[in-house]
Chains A and B, each alone.
Chain A
């Protein structure tokens, strides 16, 4: 794909629009965070408040909950634009749908993954995660939640035309989340045990790059199909 002169402007315009919409619906930013917090309260209640029990569970649990929180926010990604017809206009505008999708996914990550990442050390404290693993947790979530947004966008685009796509969306996306979960929680686990993390971080970053290239492509193709129906 050649970078046409108009493309940078399109990307910028889409990005601004999405950000503006995001900030005007502040509830959508808060909801996944509140969900994240609720789940973290449930774990000690359901298992044990003992720090000896919780600390070993912390890396995996925090990651699984982050994954679920992202999953719950996904069905809103294209839904409103699909319903009010904006998505159709974007398709008709002649600009590549790839760019629109890319901008949407970026902003989705900024509205869900990024706040979640910033909040994570606080929540890790509640789970008695050793403090030397905090930096690793933030780094893994920073890269990992972006992967979750990118892959999740494919699922959201595939199910946007369905009336009740929410559960189906989780069903088709979750198996694809396996590598992100393994690498992400692996980074934190390694940091807890005091091992070197470079290999894991490099792999997760490479996976993120792959997703950045390919996921908007698949999502845009899926949106085209969804708009046809």
Chain B
């Protein structure tokens, strides 16, 4: 009985119907939090002592970077679940996490570059964190490319699940080796944040934004997954009935 919810999760139809209210609810909460957090962070939190107003991009950049990384693990765990229990939904979740994760990684890199210009005087620096985020983007793109190369859906799902798992074992090694390389080549010339802890007046809007990003991630995942279910199950009776009803 305890595992019933898990088995039900394997049914695309059950997921599609059950998560319809979740999609709406999460969308509303995520958008409200995003708006509140953005206005609070960009408008009312104090300007940073050294960087002034430019540091406010922190509220957009940091949550994107955090959730981009988490997205990879959502993807890898989905892949493992899919390979072990052969769940259709797990592969759908893998595909959606890859797309959303790639967009978030790009957003993190892009806002990081915008932040870098006024603060460090350069859009790009081969700093350890930036380099490993760029590699993360490449890993995401590799999985998306592999997904779209196969016309056979099952092969696309399973191969990308294997690649996601291989990548998840490699990610810590990549991060450590990039850090290693970075200290060898240039030392710590630039530090984004020092040891000093962040003040509460800046921490609260930041936490709000991180929460908002996570909720937005969940919302987009569900929305994307429901769309993907319709796409994949388009030949089944229940989807065709659904389409007829809406007409």
Q: Please report the C-alpha to C-alpha distance between residue A159 and residue B150 in the assembled complex, in whole angstroms.
A: 9
Looking at chain A's contact residues, the main secondary structure is helix
In the assembly, what is the distance between CA of A226 and CA of B143, in Å? 16
The stretch from B115-123, B158-166, B192-200 touching chain A is B158-166
Flag if A228 contacts B180 (CB, 8 Å). Answer: no
Contact B155 A229 (CB under 8 A): yes
A178 to B158, CA, bound (A): 24
CB neighbours (8 Å) of A179 from chain B are 170, 173-174, 176-177
Total inter-chain residue pairs, C-beta < 8 Å: 79
Q: Does A41 contact B (CB under 8 A)?
A: no
Question: Is A161 in contact with chain B by the CB < 8 A criterion?
Answer: yes
Chain B 30-67 residues near chain A, CB threshold 8 A: none
Do B154 and A229 have beta carbons less than 8 Å apart?
Answer: yes
In contact, A159 and B152 (Cβ under 8 angstroms) = no
Contact assessment for A218 and B184 in the assembled complex, using a CB-CB cutoff below 8 Å: no
Chain A residues near B166 (CB-CB < 8 A) = 154, 176, 218
- Set of chain B residues within 8 Å of A221, measured between Cβ atoms: 83, 162
Q: Bound state CA distance, A174 and B163, in angstroms?
A: 12
Contact in complex: A182, B159 (CB < 8 Å): no
**Partner among B135, B152, B165 whose Cβ is within 8 Å of the Cβ of A178:** B135
**A window 148-183: CB within 8 A of B:** 154, 158-159, 161-162, 165, 168, 171-172, 174-176, 178-179, 182-183
Residue B142 at the chain A interface, CB threshold 8 Å: yes
Residues 109-160 of B contacting A (Cβ, < 8 Å) = 135, 138-139, 141-143, 145-146, 149-150, 152, 154-155, 158-159
* B: number of interface residues (CB 8 Å): 31
Contact assessment for B146 and A168 in the assembled complex, using a CB-CB cutoff below 8 Å: yes
A161–B156 alpha-carbon span in the complex (Å): 11
Chain A interface extent, by class: 20 to 34
Would A229 and B152 count as touching, CB distance under 8 A? yes
A214 to B165, CA, bound (A): 11
- Which among A168, A172, A183 has the highest number of chain B CB atoms within 10 Å? A172
Residues on B with beta carbons closer than 8 Å to the beta carbon of A207: 173
Contact of A225 among B155, B173, B181 (CB under 8 A): B155
| B165-207 near A? 1/0 per residue, CB < 8 Å | 1110110011011101100100000000000000000000000
Q: Is the CB of B162 within 8 A of A225?
A: yes
Whether B162 pairs with A168 at a CB distance below 8 angstroms is no
A111 at the interface (CB under 8 A from B): no
- Give me 19 other A-B pairs in contact (C-beta within 8 A), A159-B146, A168-B146 excluded: A158-B146, A159-B159, A161-B150, A161-B155, A165-B149, A171-B141, A172-B145, A172-B146, A174-B138, A174-B142, A175-B142, A175-B167, A176-B167, A179-B177, A182-B181, A222-B159, A225-B155, A225-B159, A226-B155
Which residues of chain A have a CB within 8 Å of any CB of chain B? 154, 158-159, 161-162, 165, 168, 171-172, 174-176, 178-179, 182-183, 186, 189, 207, 214, 218, 221-222, 225-226, 228-229
Q: Which 5 A-B pairs have the closest CB atoms?
A: A172-B142, A179-B177, A175-B138, A229-B155, A225-B158
